[in-house]
A and B are shown apart, each in its own frame.
Chain A
């Protein structure tokens, strides 16, 4: 009992001594190490660097340059203009009211399956009819042309997402007006693909621990699908599977090694987890009525790249459907790249990691010394 009390007393005494000496440290002790003027200078320099960083909007130059590049000759400038000025008007005037069934937001596999057979027969007949007409008039075949409002998106320190416009035209359009709804357009915007691992937690002895994991090959880092109407109304799952159109049809394959250990149902839940988590991060999005026809042949869709969009190339795959039939497709690409100090820092960190680390330490030492010197000046 006495020993315990002694221990406590000792503990307290020592702790108090330690505490007292900690509090004895006064920033003014540093004055001899660093004169106030130098310290103010160092802190000022650090602030200037940070300010440059904050106001560094070098990315806009790239954007305007890209715009200039597309120039007056192409519809790009017109479209960009539209996206900026005429957008409210367009939104107020629904292009194809019949198509805009908002409630069918979720693709239903069951429904898709039931429609599939009927659709197939219809498509068969249509193909025959089209072959007929093509013989009569070779100019009848529609094709689709597509471009994106900008060639490159600059990721700078001020980046907080960016709206891009994917626009295009149906060559040889047969529809009399945008309201006719003869064509359906699906735009899939897809980022670079990479390996991804999904892990599932389970309860082990009261703790929630990652226990199972499946590695997936080539998961798109970013995926947005925009269409004239919910894709389940546009065509059949077979077509979607073939081209990776829609959340349920993205080609995400588990790695062979991991797949053998799990049954199909579990594998499916892992696959769904990727889509669900990506969607919750805002990286997978769908706009079932995002594409609108502006004229007989001109269509557009505005897509907001989120602030956390993975940096790399993004490809816009565009599919043209007529009566559930995929009749044409085309692609355009936009490059997402770091620019300005953002790019400098990133390449510094990855190309010269040793110097980057030393630089980080130097900044830390400078900031610590400067701050205490400045505050000690203020105290006297």
Chain B
């Protein structure tokens, strides 16, 4: 069953892309991640132009994060004030990212930039997660007791000016690191086609020391609004959001996520993290492979953007 995509300007097999959406949805439901880091490279490898893949994936992340965000909001797990500060930075980062996508496409270095971003971020996050989960598993086997959480120490971050009070997070910290974190995530979302949960969650926990229950809700809130803004920005700046492709992926994704969530409950936390780390590292290696192995075709052609 083929469908002609209006923006990508190519026919695709709907069943294949539904299946792709379902498979990524399953994994994201299982691990509790957005799945953008899997879907965007998959789309690019299957022939969708990279810029269209990233623009379209932003729309799909909106769909996959909205239900979680609403649920968290009703559980009062969203620190709206911190979310808005994050969002302010996020939208600035997103605007910058979308603009950079445009510039890099003109220079012909867009794919390189995306690949490098993937290799670096997925490599770091995947390795850290892998080491941590292995250590946990080893300790669990040797029967070591799990120690209670220690109160967080003050770091350089708490010495910055422009302090704000975040009631729900029970924090009194400077707005600067919050905005910067939001901007970094927004920027990466715009250029990598990811929600950025894999960066914002650890950063909020370890750098800002936000309580974990608030972290999930607030990061979902930020991801939802930043990806929504990114979708609109990509539409306006680059005309690279393909609604038809996004709908196919969404349908596959939301169904897959439901089954993934059930499967995820059957596994232990460290097992899930180990599998997720393996997946992240595989994607990282796959992208890196394309960068270091001599391509069979050294040339590539593209139309001149904005050259009229």
Q: Identify the A interface with B (CB < 8 A).
A: 6, 8-23, 25-27, 29-30, 32-33, 46, 50, 53-54, 155-160, 194-203, 206-210, 213, 215, 270, 273-274, 276-278, 280, 307-308, 310-311, 338, 342, 345-346, 349-350, 353-354, 356-361, 363-365, 367-369, 371-372, 375
Contacts and interface: CB of A to CB of B under 8 A. Distances in A.
Interface of B: 1-4, 6-7, 9-11, 14, 32, 59-60, 62-68, 70-72, 74-75, 77, 108-109, 112, 132, 135-136, 146-147, 149-150, 201, 205-206, 212-213, 215-216, 228, 231-236, 239, 241, 243-244, 246-247, 250-251, 254-255, 258, 261, 264-265, 269-270, 272-273, 290-295, 297-304, 307-308
Given A12-B270, A364-B250, A29 B71 contact: yes
Given A17-B212, A354-B232, A360-B241, A308 B10 contact: yes
Given A54-B3, A360-B241, A371 B67 contact: yes
Contact of A277 (B2, B269, B291, B299): B299
Given A6-B150, A207-B292, A308-B11, A358 B201 contact: no
A156 to B, nearest CB: 7
Contacts, number: 251
A12 B32 contact: no
B235 A354 contact: yes
A173 B48 CA distance: 50
5 contacts: A157-B244, A198-B300, A356-B235, A360-B59, A363-B250
A358 B108 CA distance: 29
A14 B206 CA distance: 9
Which of A6, A15, A274: most chain B Cβ within 10 A? A15
From A10, A30, A54, A353, residue with most partner B Cβ within 10 Å? A353
Contacts of B149: 10, 13-14
Contacts of B272: 19
Contacts of A207: 112, 291-292
B299 A200 contact: yes
A10 B301 contact: no
A53 B3 contact: yes
B243 A346 contact: no
A186 to B, nearest CB: 26
